[in-house]
Amino acid sequence: MTIEYLKKAEKTSATGEDETRKIVADMLAGIEAGGEDAARAYGEKLDGYSGDIVVGPEAIARAADQVSQQLKDDLRFAYDRVRGFAEKQKASIGEFETELSPGLWAGQRLIPMDSAGCYVPGGRYAHVASAIMSITTAKVAGVQNVVACSAPSTEHGGPHPGIVYTMNLCGADHILALGGVQGIAAMANGLFTGHKANILVGPGNRFVAEAKRMLFGKVGIDLFAGPTEIAVIADADADPEVVAFDLVGQAEHGPDSPAWLITTSRDLGEKVMARMQALIDDLPEVQRDASDAAWCDYGEVVLCDTDEEAVQVSDAYAPEHLEIQTENLDWYVDRLKNYGSLFVGEETTVAFGDKCSGTNHILPTKGASHYTGGLSVHKFIKIVTTQRATRDANRDVAAVMARISRLEGMEGHARTGDVRLAKYFPEESFELHI
């Protein structure tokens, strides 16, 4: 396989991990020991906010008054599509019971989690879409208590009004004015609400992602959602202007957001690289600084000889978002395996999925799409099994279990079958050793 890097990243997703782990570990320990007072103190220190942590009905109403009707209509548009897709996901699985052999029944039940913690980023940007993606999906799954949190600011006297309005629209039962590690820790420990999250979901910066990783086991998490990623597979037929805009559009998320172009056309790759800086420089200051650092430190352009090589390179990256802008779209769709969400053709783009087209934008990063997909209703539902058996079925099942258990050296297990065989079939003898 011949691969040439027209541009190679200077940093990787592992850059800075050790420092992040120490900071987050200290914060989590401090909040677990100090409870609500410690979480509130971190909020004051990091966000400069000393107001109410629990966002009450009056604050929710004020937030709604600050949201324009056009934005309310747009949020409803996005909510309806995300909810509709989530409802289809839920309908794709169901409960059942089946007879595996005469008298032996096994089944499946779907039980929603009691409580979910939904993190909504609210620092550099007001991510109203993340509220839709997480809270709506949890509610469709049947979660009874949804706690949502987002970083407050002194400017707004709490979280961004658009975020608060959206959280309420989507059905959040509790809204907390806390961001970062302190918000994650508060939801995990049931601070301010009395509802400990069974699962933590939502995207965030490296500190939020690390906090979720460290808390995994104590609570469930959706996935390791670190800094966002985009990969675009493009050939000579692709429009370099469109490709460049799409790469810049994701790089603006933050200075550590990778943007990768995988192409079978040197000309296309060079044209895209030639356009990137001008598009970055044309952004407002905050977005420009983030995109510039992301493209400089994490951007890559990979030139492949063949489509097969492009697939291999993409599957190795396992990108969070993957766009295909090629002539042979279906060929790629059939062969690509590792991605969080796939955007097929120039007519769709990552930002559609990020904001309003219906699929969830909480997706695996840092190679996690090798083993998991993105957030779905299934993440909030426990798929548990049941079984029942007739006495007659014990004649085979108990005897087989006893022999396997004795082979494994588990005599106590074997005797739970022996006692039933002796009770149900006292006149019969069984070979219970191998």
Question: Which residues does the annotation mark as catalytic?
Answer: 320-321
Give residues with Cβ within 8 angstroms of 5, minimum separation 6: 300, 301, 302, 303
**Six token digits for residue 258:** 């990778």
**Six token digits for residue 76:** 């409803």
DSSP 170: H
**Six token digits for residue 84:** 């509709």
Give the residue ranges of DSSP H helices in 318-375. 329-335, 350-355
CB hemisphere CA count around 109 (13 angstroms): 7
> Which among 174, 165, 177 is positioned nearest to 62, based on CA atoms?
165
The residues facing 344 across adjacent strands are: 324
Tracing tokens 């910066």 back to the chain, one arrives at 205
Q: Distances from the Cα of 333 to the Cαs of 102, 154, 320, 370, in angstroms?
A: 43, 47, 16, 16
Are 349 and 239 a contacting pair, CB within 8 Å? no
